[in-house]
């Protein structure tokens, strides 16, 4: 493991932790604007997290050790997963880091523990949330695999780092396969981060909530960790989309100037994408649960199309 | 003169856009965006014809672009939007045989089938590797996807849109593979406009008796109420 890789580990984790709450706030702000409201301050998510950290953690009397370790497992898995997706600087890959299948299963691990914690306290809402989350995961799994397989086919590698280097090197942004990929990845992003039309992150409406249902029993610093891990997950999926489709500015050499430029550009591109997500969410209603497969089918369709093109053409 | 390689990559991007709109037309349940998607698809075809025109410099392509723009981007969507406003249907949620998800999955299989079939047919010709081969595949796929819309939807107005998108597929195929005589293109467009006009009249009454039909015309505000008491 070289020195530049260690620097990469530090920089990537710091950047993702620093920028993730901002993107969540931007999405909220855009949604508020489209509804004609002022919306919370851009730093509100940071304030929320800071406040939660100071509060006391309360466990239900029925809960077990699952409840206690879930926030830690979740944030750990997601932060490690965030290392797989370089935000601003792409080093040479080391070991298994960057493997796209491992990335998927790290995300699945966090999701699995979150679902367990939802069941653990014995609250019926948590149980419903977990049950829905697991059903959706089971349905989205083939689609996710196909989308990532399409990525692997397009870039001829399983390693995210190599994909990013290739996309920086080619620099083209508008090949048709990338457009189709962008749509598929966007759908995956929406589904994985529990946003409208799959789930509404803003309500605690017992009949529909999925993600909120599972973390209903968390409190204090644990809740802060869960919120932070979902923000980081959003950021890493956004980074995957951004750095594959519009890679310009992504630094491949470790110099201070390139790094600062890359951070600024990433924040800018992320802001635009967060705005797009906000507009997308505002423009549609939550889908009925049993209609969700048609959304996934869209991503599945485009990715399979990419594979057909890549294999036969 | 613009670089041909650039134009070719533009055309490839337009192919992707056509496929996206086709998938949207198959799966959406919202009628007003369905019409916009159709208009957008036609607009893509216009751009494609223009790109091909700048590549080959055949005036017929320019003519196709112009009549496609006038008829399919302006006139036909206008008629369909008008009828939609009149009959006040916003959604199409009834399906025959296939749900949108199944049709999407099925159309994937169809595209693969067309791809393999065409590449076998064109195996030894020079066209195999070119843009025109892709145009043929996407044209045929668009045709079959439109056909699926036509038979899987229940509402007459969506069936018509499926038919129209099928015709877009024919146009695409014609642009890239065979040079259809211009007079035939033109006649097809006129047929389409007449079809849409007929549909605007018939889509409220296709399944009714004549007496009921008159009632429906009143109910959907398609004729002004002249007698009192209605």
Dihedral sign, CA of A202, A206, A207, A212? positive
Q: How far apart are CA A212 and CA A198, in angstroms?
A: 12
B99 contacts A176? CB cut-off 8 A: no
Q: Taking 80 as the threshold, does the pLDDT of residue A313 lie above it?
A: no
Chain B residues near residue A297 by CB distance under 8 angstroms: 27, 100-101, 104-105
Per-residue pLDDT tens for B57-92?
788 888 888 988 998 899 888 888 877 777 766 776
Return the higher-pLDDT residue of A29 and B119.
A29
Closest CB to B16 among A176, A294, A301: A176
Q: How far apart are CA B99 and CA A284, in angstroms?
A: 21
> Which chain B residue shows the shortest CA-CA distance from A307?
B112
pLDDT of residue A271: 95
Tokens of A54: 């100071």
Chain A residues near residue B99 by CB distance under 8 angstroms: 294
Q: What is the mean pLDDT of residues A217-237?
A: 93
Q: Tell whether A283 is within 8 A of chain B (Cβ).
A: no
pLDDT of residue A172: 63
Instruction: Determine the structural domain holding residue A89 and report its residue range.
Output: 3-312
pLDDT of residue A273: 95
How many residues are listed for chain B in this entry? 230
Q: Taking 60 as the threshold, does the pLDDT of residue B228 lie above it?
A: no
Q: What is the mean pLDDT of residues A212-224?
A: 90
> Which chain B residue shows the shortest CA-CA distance from A297?
B101
Chain A residues near residue B15 by CB distance under 8 angstroms: 176
Q: Taking 80 as the threshold, does the pLDDT of residue B221 lie above it?
A: no
Return the higher-pLDDT residue of A45 and B55.
A45
Residue of A67, A182, A166 whose CA lies nearest to A115: A67
- The residues in B 138-177 lying below 8 A from A, measured between CB atoms, are none
Q: Report the first-to-last Cα separation within chain B, whole angstroms.
A: 64
Chain B residues near residue A175 by CB distance under 8 angstroms: 9, 12-13
Dihedral sign, CA of B198, B204, B209, B211? negative
Task: Map residue B95 onto helix, strand or coil.
Answer: strand
Residue of A210, A200, A116, A192 whose CA lies nearest to A147: A192
pTM of the predicted model, to two decimals?
Answer: 0.86
B105 contacts A175? CB cut-off 8 A: no
Confidence bin at A46 (pLDDT 50/70/90): very high
pLDDT of residue B211: 64
Contact A181, A240 (CB under 8 A): no
Per-residue pLDDT tens for A280-310?
999 888 888 888 888 888 889 899 888 887 7
In angstroms, the Cα distances linking A259 to A76, A86, A248, A276 are 25, 12, 13, 25
Phi, psi of A156 (to 5 degrees): 55, 35
Specify the DSSP class assigned to residue A285: P
Average model confidence (pLDDT) for chain B?
80
Number of domains forming the structure of chain A: 1
Per-residue pLDDT tens for B181-193?
777 777 788 888 8
Q: Tell whether B7 is within 8 A of chain A (Cβ).
A: no
Q: What is the mean pLDDT of residues A122-131?
A: 88
Confidence bin at B180 (pLDDT 50/70/90): low
Confidence bin at A198 (pLDDT 50/70/90): confident
Return the higher-pLDDT residue of B142 and B226.
B142
Closest CB to A183 among B12, B20, B112: B20
A312 contacts B116? CB cut-off 8 A: yes
Per-residue pLDDT tens for B151-179?
888 777 788 888 888 888 888 888 887 66
Per-residue pLDDT tens for A51-75?
999 999 999 888 899 999 999 999 9
Phi, psi of A303 (to 5 degrees): -70, -40
Phi, psi of A89 (to 5 degrees): -140, 125
Q: How far apart are CA B198 and CA B88, in angstroms?
A: 18
Task: Map residue A208 onto helix, strand or coil.
Answer: coil
Phi, psi of B30 (to 5 degrees): -100, 120
Q: What is the mean pLDDT of residues A142-149?
A: 91
Closest CB to A305 among B19, B99, B101: B19
Tokens of A265: 């550009």
A309/chain B closest Cα distance in angstroms: 9
Q: What is the mean pLDDT of residues B98-109?
A: 85
A174 contacts B9? CB cut-off 8 A: yes
B105 contacts A294? CB cut-off 8 A: no
Closest CB to A179 among B16, B111, B112: B16
A220/chain B closest Cα distance in angstroms: 42
Tell me the HSE value of A110 on the side-chain side, using a 13 A CA sphere: 28
Tokens of B136: 């043929």
Task: Report the phi/psi class of residue B9: left, alpha or beta, with left for phi > 0 and alpha for psi in -120 to 50.
Answer: alpha
pLDDT of residue B191: 81
Q: Is-cis flag, bond preceding A197, omega within 30?
A: yes
Q: Taking 50 as the threshold, does the pLDDT of residue B229 lie above it?
A: no
Confidence bin at B135 (pLDDT 50/70/90): confident
> Which chain A residue shows the shortest CA-CA distance from B15?
A176
A176 contacts B115? CB cut-off 8 A: no
Confidence bin at A115 (pLDDT 50/70/90): very high
Confidence bin at A48 (pLDDT 50/70/90): very high
């Amino acid at each position: 493991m070289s020195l530049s890789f260690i620097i990469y580990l530090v920089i990537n984790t710091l950047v993702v932790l620093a920028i993730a709450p901002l993107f969540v706030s931007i999405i909220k702000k855009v949604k508020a604007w489209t509804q004609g409201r002022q919306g919370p301050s851009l730093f509100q998510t940071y304030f929320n997290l800071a406040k939660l950290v100071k509060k006391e953690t309360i466990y239900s009397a029925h809960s077990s050790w699952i409840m206690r370790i879930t926030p830690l497992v979740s944030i750990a898995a997601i932060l490690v997963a965030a290392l797989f997706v370089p935000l601003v600087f792409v080093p040479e890959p080391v070991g298994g880091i960057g493997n796209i299948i491992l990335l998927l299963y790290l995300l699945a691990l966090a999701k699995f523990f979150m679902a367990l914690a939802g069941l653990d306290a014995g609250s019926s809402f948590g149980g419903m949330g977990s049950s829905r989350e697991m059903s959706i995961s089971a349905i989205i799994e083939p689609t996710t695999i196909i989308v990532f397989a399409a990525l692997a086919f397009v870039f001829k590698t399983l390693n995210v780092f190599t994909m990013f280097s290739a996309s920086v090197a080619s620099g083209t942004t508008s090949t048709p396969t990338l457009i189709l990929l962008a749509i598929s990845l966007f759908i995956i992003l929406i589904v994985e981060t529990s946003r409208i039309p799959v789930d509404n992150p803003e309500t605690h409406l017992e009949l529909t909530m999925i993600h909120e249902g599972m973390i209903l029993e968390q409190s204090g610093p644990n809740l802060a960790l869960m919120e932070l891990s979902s923000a980081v997950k959003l950021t890493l999926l956004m980074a995957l989309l951004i750095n594959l489709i519009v890679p310009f500015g992504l630094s491949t050499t470790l110099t201070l100037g390139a790094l600062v430029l890359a951070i600024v550009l990433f924040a800018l591109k992320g802001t635009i994408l967060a705005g797009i997500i906000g507009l997308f969410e505002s423009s549609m209603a939550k889908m009925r649960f049993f209609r969700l497969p048609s959304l996934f089918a869209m991503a599945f369709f485009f990715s399979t199309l990419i594979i057909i093109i890549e294999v036969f053409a | 003169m613009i670089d041909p390689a650039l134009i070719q990559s533009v055309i490839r991007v337009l192919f992707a856009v056509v496929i996206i709109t086709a998938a949207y037309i198959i799966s959406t349940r919202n009628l007003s965006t369905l019409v916009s998607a159709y208009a957008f698809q036609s607009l893509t075809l216009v751009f494609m014809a223009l790109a091909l025109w700048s590549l080959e410099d055949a005036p017929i392509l320019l003519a196709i672009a112009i009549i496609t723009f006038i008829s399919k981007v302006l006139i036909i969507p206008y008629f369909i939007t008008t009828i939609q406003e009149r009959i006040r249907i916003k959604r199409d949620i009834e399906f025959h045989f296939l749900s949108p998800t199944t049709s999407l999955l099925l159309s994937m299989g169809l595209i693969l089938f067309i791809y393999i079939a065409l590449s076998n047919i064109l195996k030894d010709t020079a066209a195999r590797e070119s843009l025109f081969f892709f145009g043929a595949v996407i044209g045929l796929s668009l045709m079959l996807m439109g056909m699926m819309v036509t038979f899987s939807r229940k509402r007459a107005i969506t069936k018509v849109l499926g038919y129209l998108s099928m015709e877009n597929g024919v146009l695409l195929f014609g642009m890239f593979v065979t040079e259809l005589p211009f007079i035939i293109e033109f006649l097809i467009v006129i047929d389409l406009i007449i079809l849409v006009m007929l549909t605007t009249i018939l889509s409220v009454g296709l399944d009714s008796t004549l007496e009921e039909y008159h009632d429906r015309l009143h109910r959907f505000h398609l004729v002004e109420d002249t007698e009192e008491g209605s």
